[in-house]
Amino acid sequence: MNFGPSFYIPVLKIKRGEKKALQLIAPHIRAGLLPLLEVVERRAPPGRVPPALSKHLTTAFTGLDAVVAGFPRYFLDCKEIAPDGAAGAADAFARAAGLPTSFTPVTGITRTSDVAAAMTHRRNGIAIRLTREEFEAGLIPSRLPAFLRTHSLAPQETDLIVDLGPVDDMIAAGVEALTAAFLADVPVHRQWRTLTVSGCAFPSSMGGIDANSSDLVERAEWVAWRDGLHAHRNALERLPTYSDCAIQHPTGVEGFDPRIMPVSAAVRITHFDQWLLVKGVSTRNIPAKLQFPRLATQLVYGNLRPWFAGAAHCAGCADMVNAANGAPGLGGPEAWRRLGTIHHLTRAVEMIAGLSWP
């Protein structure tokens, strides 16, 4: 299944919160997106031993068949387990091949650990993820065509992803300029099976927000795509599809153990062109199960209500109301990653669909 610029490509870590979120989005929202799933790096908290590779991948793939069942296909990227060598990608792609839903392996022109495994599983095409480092090094014009020739690939069977990487230190105008410069290096825009621009403006941490306060952060990658690409689509050779990392910075939080490492309760809400970030205090001082209902109450009934979409908006928002009303099982970071991700995916698909097409 191919897709066009009216689709949405969320880049999500294969973790329990994100997996559950994909299962709980409404069918009409699921029909408007295609996920790019990343196997997270194999890392343990300080002083602990990382799990064996096979156990790590078993955790990642547990329940994944049900997660992707509602999609015609999905992207699978193993770049974070590159330190495990070719065996990591080979095992992950082989596991994915055993699931009923089709997948397209993701690789890159300067990668080494996952290229062979990706080519082995190219039955549903190949996705090439071009990085900011590759663009800034001037590699795209020569290395991309060479990669295609080396592996006997045609653009028509290739999903090309222009990955801006983290842009949380930039305003929308800067992201727009960066996107234009990178796209200028990409050849034959119309020939690729799909063409996507991905970026992440979500902050790397909540450290800049004071305890017991909130702040608004611009969704700069979205504003840049809407105002810099979609608004000028008739002047483009091809309008790329929009992609982001939802409510998670690309660096992730692998190796973090809330039982032994300090963390503040936090809520992440996507509000059109901005994110509302709400921060409590350290869960060492006040347990998470007490803080999250309080933060939910602020959002649903209190001073932050203008940024709440309402219980009927999505399953995530419905559970935010449940949390404010004291329902069990909604008082931890993983639960709120699930709720926030459901809301973000829903909002993103709705906003893209609400633009003028064609």
68-123 pLDDT, tens per residue? 998 999 999 999 999 999 999 999 999 999 999 999 999 999 999 999 999 999 99
Backbone angles phi, psi at 290, to 5 degrees: -95, -35
Contact 41, 14 (CB under 8 A): no
pLDDT for 251: 86
pLDDT band at 1 (very low <50, low <70, confident <90, very high): confident
How many angstroms separate the CA atoms of 33 and 249, rounded? 20
pLDDT for 261: 55
pLDDT for 255: 46
Helices 140-150 and 172-185, axial angle in degrees (round to 10) = 50
- Which residue's structure tokens are 């991700």? 341
Q: Which pTM value belongs to this model?
A: 0.96
Q: Is 153 exposed, middle or buried (0-12, 13-18, 19+ CB in 10 A)?
A: middle
Backbone angles phi, psi at 191, to 5 degrees: -90, -20
Contact 264, 281 (CB under 8 A): yes
What is the number of other CB atoms lying within 10 angstroms of the CB of residue 45? 14
pLDDT beyond 70 at 257: no
Dihedral (CA of 101, 155, 111, 140) sign? negative
Contact 85, 77 (CB under 8 A): no
Helix (H, G, I), strand (E, B) or coil at 77: strand
pLDDT for 252: 65
Q: What is the DSSP secondary structure assignment for residue 231, as one 8-state letter?
A: G
pLDDT band at 263 (very low <50, low <70, confident <90, very high): confident
| Strands annotated E in 146-301 | 158-166, 194-200, 213-218, 241-244, 264-271, 274-282
